[in-house]
Structure formats: structure tokens, C-alpha cells
A and B are shown apart, each in its own frame.
Chain A
Amino acid sequence: MIERKDGQDPRVDDERPAKPVADVIVARDVHKWFGQLHVLRGINLTVRAGEVVVIFGASGSGKSTFIRTINRLEEHQRGQIIVDGIELSDDIRNIAAVRREIGMVFQQFNLFPHLTALQNVTLAPVRVRGWSRDKADQAAMGILERVGIPEQAHKYPAQLSGGQQQRVAIARALAMQPKIMLFDEPTSALDPEMISEVLDVMRELAESGMTMICVTHEMGFARAVANRMVYFDEGLIVEEGPPEQIFGSPQQARTRQFLSQILH
């Protein structure tokens, strides 16, 4: 399985990347077990700075688990994950350093319900980056404006719609000025009429040059924004390539079958 990947992607080789800045995420032969269940069975993936990668696949295929290993919400048990030149290990300083580079957006938003939208956004810059309250507030208002909800700054999450909550969650991640953004099915918990407001923010973010990995089934978004699409099945990358290839002429039978199920 690894040979196949190596043959396909010349950027994955056995030496450390010469310029870690260019390859901001390098995953080599990543394995993960939940008890007896082998959920990641040797994932190889390299993401360059500014690239937008969309990961798709059936539920249980390991795609969420994989992006959660990138900021160590899940621990990988074999293989290597290198983020911006820092290899993830048990060392909490490495984990902290990696998490400072990565922002994450969750399916269930996971906003802090006891804090206002603004406080949600400023918490980490103040406590982790050590910014002054004024500086953090100013930056946060700028970001809330960017995601289109500055007027909701002083509301609590429970007073916001799902789409607004997810945009606050994106603002919260952006406030840490990450180099990489991870999106774990960001629109799956939203009512249909709210999906586009979140996708618009993500599209704008991609156009600004942010490095993004998105687990999503929004194929319209993938076709328009992704540089590369990656199909996961049973803990493996079955196929990857630009959207034109995935939608136009998928190489693998399993990819074709999955796409035919979700694109009616």
C-alpha cells in the first residue's frame, strides 16, 4: 500500500523535507488503533503551504480520526507526523507548539457556552499568546467582521443560529493566527439554509492563501475550492488527485462507487 502511494506522489520521500516551510504537514505511514480496531492503516499525506485539501469518504473510514491526529486530539501509534518542521511526539512542548500553528473547526462547533462570542474568540489569544485584552478585543472584532457577524459579538452561543455559531468557531480558531486550519465536517450539523454562509467564509479563507484540510461532503465546495481531493476508505487513502480527476475520471472503482452514491 505504501509503494503505491510513493509511486503516485513524488513529494513523499524517505528523507526529511528540505524546506519544511513548503511542506507544512507531512504524515508518513500513520497507524491508529481503537482497542482492537485498526482505524488508520498507514496514511501518507503531504500538504504544501497554501494548499486546500478536501478529504472525503464513508463514515468510519478514518478521515476524522486522521485530521484529529494532526493536532494530537488523537494519538497516532505508529508512523510520523511533522507539522511545520515539528514532529509530534509525547513531548507536551511539541504538542503545544503544533497546536499553536493549527486552528480547528468541529462538526458540533464546541463553542464555550458560558462565554460570549467575543470572549470565545479572545480567550486563547489572551491566555495562550499573552496579548493584552484591548489588543485581543480589537483583533477579535476584526475577525468577527471578516466572518460577517460583528453585531453578534456580545451574545452567548445559545442565542445564535447554527451557522452563526460555526462562524464564531471559525473566528475563534483564526484568532490564534494559525498557519493551518483543520475543518472536521463543519457543515454536517447545520440546517440546509445555513450551510452556504459557512462555506462562503471557508471559501474566502482559502482564497486568502490559508492552508486548509477539510473533511466534508460538500462536493460543490470541493470542486470550486480544493487543490486536491483525498478519498479515504477503511483507514487507507484509496485515491487522491485534483478535483477534475476525482470527478471526471476517478482511477479506482471504490472511488467511483462512493461518488455515485453521494452525487445523485
Chain B
Amino acid sequence: MTAATLPPPRETGGPSAWLRQNLFSTWYHTVLTVVVAVLIGLFLWQVGWWAVSEARWGVVTTNLRLFLVGQYPFEQAWRIWLSLATLSVLAGLSAGRYGTAVRTLAMWLAAGQLLLGGLAAISGMALAVPALLLLNAALVWIAFLVSVRRPLPRRALLFGWIASVPISFLLLSGANAVGLPTVSTNLWGGLLLTVLIATVGIVLSFPFGVLLALGRRSDLPAVRLLSTTFIEVVRGVPLVTVLFMADIMLPLFLPGDVRVDRVARAIGGITLFSAAYVAENVRGGLQAIPTGQIEAANALGLSAVQRNRFIVMPQALRSVIPANVGLFISLLKDTTLVVIVGLLELLGIGRAVLAQSEWFGAQLEVYVFIGAVFFVLCYTMSQASYRLEEALGVGQR
């Protein structure tokens, strides 16, 4: 007698069945469910009541400008807008050219600008601010649509991104030589400074970390020793110390007439710090590559550089995406530490605002706001990372 081919057992479904199974299966489960539900409800009610009726959100709305750009001079604000517009267009163009990960980032950039625009509108800022933010969000979308129709070559986009960093920096800081009044970086602040430090830090520390990881596995003893020493020293020291060193010690070592900007020093410190961690993550990925891969590449006649570029690195980097994104998320949050070298990023501005006498005691409102902004930024990064993992098939092939 041959066994019949049976259909799989039917799933007993429906939300009510799920509820019964998971929340109300026995009398003590039912009691627990009810008690916990009541507690959660009470908590949410309290928080909601506080947020709606007690909280003095005026501390955020009246100081919104400070939170966003610090003390950047009002009449020079167009430079920030121009930088932001560049970023929006580049993000939109890239979203049309690349896959879902870049699209997620661009989508969140547009959404974030809309969110800020809404916030600016209800804060009673000049109408131009929400209007321009709306326009910027639209720019992301328009650039995306254009790029989907006629994708730019990758090389042009890459060049655009690389060029945009110094150009934006120059635009924001100004140069008397070209007739742009300089804006001292002491005046930069808030979200602008947070995003700037984090973005440049992430973008620079990644390639530097990859080089360090390769250096640590190099056949040349001098390169290996230098890389290992750098990684171990930096990892053995708290970030606060590195920032202090960058801020106070560096000028002592440089000749008197060479002045490195304070923001640049902070970015440098954070970059070096994060690069050491990137290097160790990447080294983990490199070690996971089976020797058979390297032998196959050698047997095909690939050179050492080609082997690393086409075989080893793509696999190693792909497998360490989760670890690296985690690292970059903590880098973003660690930018709050630049407060100790006198830079007022988002959290620093928050403290400065709280020092104003009329907002005495409004800590909760300020920190809730800052926390929410950081959450949106970090959540964006982690979502983009999931999309990237899906697109590259991490854990599947």
C-alpha cells in the first residue's frame, strides 16, 4: 500500500484564536494579561496627558532654530539651504540609480525634512522655513524620478558625493577669498553639527578602517605593527580622551601658524576612534573567508589587489554589515561627546537652552525632543541596513 500525499495540516487561524492561545489560555494567563494591560494603559495615559496638557513644548518651538542650526547667522542661512538642497538632489539621484538601501535613506531624508517642516510650521517660524523644507523634500522626489528615467553613471554620482563634502564645508564655513564671509565653526550647532560630524565621521572612518584591517593582516611586518599598534592604542582609550587629545594636544604639536579648525579636529578624533573599531569588525569578516576562496582566486591568476577587491572584500564587508551599522549608530550617538570640547551639537544646544531662565525646569521636554530626533536618525540607519542586507542576500548565499 502506498502512502497518500497529504496536504499540510490546516492552520487554525484568526486573531481571536491567536489571542486565546497566547493571552488567555489559562486563568492565570488571563489575570496576567489584564493586569499588564491595565498598567500599560495607565502609563500611556499619564504620558499622553503630560505631553498634551502639562509639557511646555514652547521650549522646543521657540528655540527650534537653535536646535536645528545653532547660532549660525540668520542672514547667512541660505548657505545651509544650498547645502541641504545639494544633499537632497544627490540623495534623490542616487536613490534612482542604486537599490533599496539608498532608497530607504533618501526616503527618510525626505520624510525627515517634511517632519521638520511641519515642526517649523507649528512653531511659528517664518513661513519660508517650512516652505523651503517642503521644497527640499520635493527635490529628493524629483531627482529620484529624473534618475529613474535617465540613471547617471555611478562614477558621476560617486564623484558628486566626494566633491559635495568639501564644497558643503567650504560653503558653510565661507572663505573671504571668494567673497563669502567666514562663519566661525563655533557658531555651528544643533542638528546641523550632529549630522555633519556623524556623516563625515562615518564616511571617512569606513575606508580608513578597511585599510587598517588589511594592514593588520599584511605580510609586511612594519605595516602590520603600525596598524596593530594604532588599533590597540585607540581601542584602549575612551573617546573623551581622544577628543581631548585632538582638541588640546594636536595644536601643541603643530607649528604655531597652522590652525586646524575645532570642528575638523573633533571630526578627526571621532574618525580615528571609529576607524579602529571598523578595522576590527572588518578583520572578523576577513577571517571568515575560507582559504579555498583565496586559492581559487590565485589559481585563476588574479593579482593580490584584484583578489582583495573582487573576491575577499565583497564577501568580508557584506558579512559585517550588521556589526558596522551598529558601530555607526553608536558613532552618531557619541557625537554628543563633542560637548566636552566646547562644540554645541544637538545635546549641547539642549543644555544651553535649559540654562535660559524662562525655561528653567523644562528638562523633560528638551530631552524627550532630542531623544526623538536621535531615534529617528538611528532608526533610519538600521532600516537602511536591513534593506542592504536583503539586497545583498546576507545569510542566504
User: Chain A interface (Cβ within 8 Å of chain B)?
Assistant: 71-73, 96, 99-100, 102-104, 106, 108, 110-114, 123-124, 127-128, 156-159, 172-173, 176
Contacting residues, chain A, for B306 (C-beta < 8 A): 127-128
Annotate B276-320 by CB proximity to A: 1 below 8 A, 0 otherwise.
000000000000001011011111111100100011001100100
Residues of A within 8 A of B396 (CB): 158
Q: How distant is the Cα of A172 from the Cα of B315 in the complex, in angstroms? A: 19
Check if B397 is an interface residue, CB within 8 A of chain A: yes
20 further contact pairs, Cβ within 8 A, besides A99-B301, A112-B311, A114-B315: A73-B299, A100-B301, A102-B299, A103-B299, A104-B299, A106-B292, A106-B295, A110-B290, A112-B293, A112-B315, A113-B315, A114-B314, A114-B318, A114-B392, A123-B302, A127-B306, A128-B300, A128-B306, A173-B300, A176-B301
Select which of B298, B315, B318, B392 is within 8 A of A73 by beta carbon: B298
Which residues on A sit within 8 Å (CB–CB) of B392? 114
Residues of B within 8 A of A103 (CB): 299
Partner of B300, one of A113, A156, A157, A176: A176
The number of residue pairs between A and B whose CB atoms lie closer than 8 Å in the complex comes to 63
CB contacts (< 8 Å) of B397 on chain A: these are: 113-114, 156-159
Within 8 Å CB of A128, what residues of B? 300-302, 306
Q: Which residue of chain B lies nearest to A108 when distances are taken between CB atoms in the complex? A: B292
- With A123-B310, A157-B397, A159-B397 in contact, do A110 and B300 touch (Cβ < 8 Å)? no
Q: Which residue of A lies closest to B397 (CB)?
A: A158
Nearest CB on A from B21, distance (A): 36
Contacts of A96 in B (CB 8 A): 301, 303
- What B residues does A106 contact at CB under 8 A? 292, 295-296
Name which residue of chain A comes closest to B295, CB basis.
Answer: A73
Q: Does B361 contact A (CB under 8 A)?
A: no
Q: Name 13 interchain pairs, CB-CB below 8 A, sorted by A.
A: A99-B298, A99-B301, A106-B295, A110-B295, A112-B296, A112-B311, A124-B302, A127-B302, A128-B301, A128-B306, A172-B300, A176-B300, A176-B301
In the complex the two chains form, is B393's CB within 8 Å of A156's CB?
Answer: yes
Chain B residues with CB under 8 Å of A173's CB are 299-300
In the complex, the answer to whether A124 meets B300 with C-beta atoms within 8 Å is yes
Chain B residue nearest in CB terms to A74: B295
Which residue, of A71, A114, A123, A159, has the highest number of chain B Cβ atoms within 10 A? A114
B293: nearest chain-A partner, CB-CB:
A110
| Distance in Å: Cβ of A29 to nearest Cβ of chain B | 24
By beta carbon, the residue of chain B nearest A125 is B300
Q: In this complex, which of B295, B296, B311 has the most chain A Cβ atoms within 10 angstroms of its Cβ?
A: B296
- Specify which chain B residues have a CB less than 8 angstroms from the CB of A110 in the assembled complex: 290, 292-293, 295-296
Whole-angstrom CA separation of A127 from B307 in the bound complex: 10
Instruction: Give the complex CA separation of A156 and B292 in angstroms.
Output: 17
Q: Which residues of A contact B300 (CB under 8 A)?
A: 99, 123-124, 128, 172-173, 176
Q: Least Cβ distance of A34 to chain B in Å?
A: 15
**Distance A158 CA – B306 CA, assembled complex (angstroms):** 23
Give me the 5 closest cross-chain CB pairs, A-B, nearest first.
Answer: A110-B296, A110-B292, A124-B300, A104-B299, A158-B397
Q: Which of B293, B297, B299, B314 has the most CB of A within 10 A?
A: B299
